[in-house]
């Protein structure tokens, strides 16, 4: 309640400003809501497993998920097909999903990032390393969206998006922003839950 709308940069002309609006929407959220909520995350929060059988990011060889992959010392848990219901996932898993699947793959497909996938990525062993990875991918994404301009938002996504190949890039941008809002809201809620259930171990 009482929040003010993000200030918008005034366009120099009356040309369409869809690209600017898309970027301002997610970056206002990033700068004014998410960064503060993610600041100071501890490794205990990052790896916290609030339920039995969680999927997470773990030191190689220590997990029990059907599939555990990663290029470095840490691996991420998952299964194909995904169980129903799927296991509860830790903050580490959710950040790994955002970094690789939501942003990294799209940055590679559309904005010149080197190829990446779950198997080839080196997952973070600390919360701060993971947040730095997330910030790097987010910056590549935001710059890539800006470079599309107005016309680029109208072109088809292409074969990298499978059955959604004919859809315009604007729809992909909206989808990725929705995924960021969705999963980072979950991360923030898990931080709140951790602090209320582990008052002596909460980060400051």
CATH of the domain at 166: 1.20.120
pLDDT score of 17:
81
CA angle 116, 82, 95 (to 5 degrees): 45
Range of the domain at 161: 19-50+90-113+124-197
State the average pLDDT over residues 99-103: 97
Radius of gyration of the chain from its Cα atoms, rounded to whole angstroms: 18
Residue listed under structure tokens 């993610």: 38
Residue 16: partners with Cβ closer than 8 Å, 6 or more residues away: 150
The verdict on residue 61 lying in a domain is no
**pLDDT at residue 204 tops 70:** no
Per cent of the chain over pLDDT 70 is 90
The verdict on residue 7 lying in a domain is no
**pLDDT at residue 86 tops 80:** yes
The verdict on residue 204 lying in a domain is no
State the average pLDDT over residues 138-157: 97
pLDDT score of 198:
84
pLDDT score of 200:
72
The verdict on residue 97 lying in a domain is yes
Structural domains of the chain, count? 1
The verdict on residue 119 lying in a domain is no
The verdict on residue 14 lying in a domain is no
Helices (H), the chain: 18-29, 35-38, 43-47, 91-97, 105-110, 127-154, 169-197
pLDDT score of 199:
73
* Number of residues that this document lists for the chain: 204
Query: Would you tell me how many other CB atoms lie within 10 Å of the CB of residue 34?
Result: 21
Q: How far apart, in whole angstroms, are the C-alpha atoms of residue 68 and residue 123?
A: 12
| 27 DSSP 8-state letter | H
The CA-to-CA distance between both ends of the chain, in Å, stands at: 25
pLDDT score of 8:
46
Contact 145, 173 (CB under 8 A): yes
The verdict on residue 55 lying in a domain is no
Q: How far apart, in whole angstroms, are the C-alpha atoms of residue 75 and residue 63?
A: 8
Query: Would you tell me how many other CB atoms lie within 10 Å of the CB of residue 144?
Result: 19
The verdict on residue 70 lying in a domain is no
């Amino acid at each position: 309640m009482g929040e003010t709308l993000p200030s918008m940069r005034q366009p120099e002309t009356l040309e369409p400003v869809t690209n600017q609006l898309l970027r301002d929407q997610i970056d206002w959220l990033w700068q004014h809501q998410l960064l503060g909520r993610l600041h100071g995350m501890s490794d205990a929060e990052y790896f916290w497993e609030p339920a039995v059988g969680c999927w997470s990011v773990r030191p190689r060889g220590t997990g029990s998920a059907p599939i555990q992959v990663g290029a470095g010392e840490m691996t991420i848990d998952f299964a194909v097909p995904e169980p129903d219901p799927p296991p509860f996932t830790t903050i580490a898993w959710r950040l790994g999903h955002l970094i690789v699947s939501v942003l990294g793959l799209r940055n590679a497909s559309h904005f010149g990032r080197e190829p990446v996938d779950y198997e080839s990525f080196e997952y973070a062993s600390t919360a701060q390393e993971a947040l730095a990875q997330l910030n790097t991918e987010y910056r590549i994404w935001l710059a890539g969206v800006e470079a599309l301009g107005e016309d680029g938002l109208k072109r088809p996504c292409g074969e990298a998006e499978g059955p959604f190949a004919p859809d315009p890039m604007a729809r992909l941008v909206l989808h990725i922003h929705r995924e960021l809002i969705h999963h980072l809201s979950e991360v923030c809620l898990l931080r709140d839950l951790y602090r209320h259930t582990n008052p002596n171990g909460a980060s400051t």
